[in-house]
Copies of this chain bind each other. A is one copy, B any other.
Amino acid sequence: MNCANSVDYGDPDPFQWDTREDCQVRQILDRVADKWSLLVIALLDSRRLRFTELRREIDGISQRMLTVTLRQLERDGLVQRTVHPVVPPRVEYELTPLGGTLHTTIRSLVTWTEEHQNEIAAARAAYDEREARGV
């Protein structure tokens, strides 16, 4: 990880990654790999969605968490928020160009999960089975 944020402690690991806590890359990873952020970004593909539409699409998200998540994504320049000065208010969210590049990556993560969910389920079952016999 090329980490702009932390001083050089020396002793780089063989993969050139900075796994230190104050590393900016790690902080951003926590943000974009967040449970709700992931879903919002994956949903907003070239669509503009209203607040309520997003809320309806993402089952289980509370109003508060949707608000918080959208604010963070907006702050990070990944999502564009557009307020239409009408009544009742109409606010639309869409990916910025930067957000679009992240969308691709996150999509591949979702795709990986879709493609391998059965293997994972099988691995879990096998593990639990071994576990049960062991105990």
Q: Taking beta carbons and an 8 Å cutoff, which residues of A are in contact with B? A: 1-2, 4, 13-15, 17, 19-21, 24-26, 28-30, 32-35, 38-39, 42-43, 45, 47, 57-60, 74-78, 98, 101-102, 105-106, 108-110, 112-114, 116-124, 126-128
* 20 A-B contact pairs sorted by A residue (CB < 8 Å): A1-B114, A2-B114, A4-B118, A4-B121, A13-B57, A17-B110, A19-B57, A19-B59, A20-B60, A21-B59, A29-B35, A29-B113, A30-B35, A32-B109, A33-B35, A33-B38, A76-B124, A98-B123, A102-B112, A106-B109
Chain B hits for A33, CB < 8 A: 33-35, 38, 109
Nearest neighbor of A29 in chain B, beta-carbon distance: B113
- A77 near B32: Cβ-Cβ < 8 Å: no
- B24 near A39: Cβ-Cβ < 8 Å: no
Task: Report copies per complex.
Answer: 2
Cα(A53)–Cα(B105), bound, Å: 29
Interface of A, secondary structure class, is helix
Extra pairs beyond A15-B45, A25-B114, A106-B109 (7, CB < 8 Å): A17-B43, A20-B60, A21-B60, A29-B38, A75-B124, A77-B119, A102-B116
User: Contact check: which of B13, B28, B127 meets A117 at CB < 8 Å?
Assistant: B28
Nearest neighbor of A1 in chain B, beta-carbon distance: B114
